[in-house]
Amino acid sequence: MSECPIEDTTWETIVRHVPIVSVDLVVRHEDGVILAK
């Protein structure tokens, strides 16, 4: 796992292009975001 959190622009691109059904859990924490299936 990367030590760097996802940049805002990358996150926006992921959300815009990944079907919502592909992500079951989104955890935002002080070090970034975790997407889980």
Q: Is the dihedral of CA 12, 16, 18, 24 positive or negative?
A: positive
pTM of the model: 0.40
> pLDDT tens across 13-23, in order?
888 887 777 77
> pLDDT tens across 1-37, in order?
567 777 889 888 888 887 777 777 888 888 888 878 7
Could you tell me the two tokens for 6? 């996802």
Q: Tell me how many domains the chain contains.
A: 1
pLDDT at 19: 74
Could you tell me the two tokens for 19? 């079907």
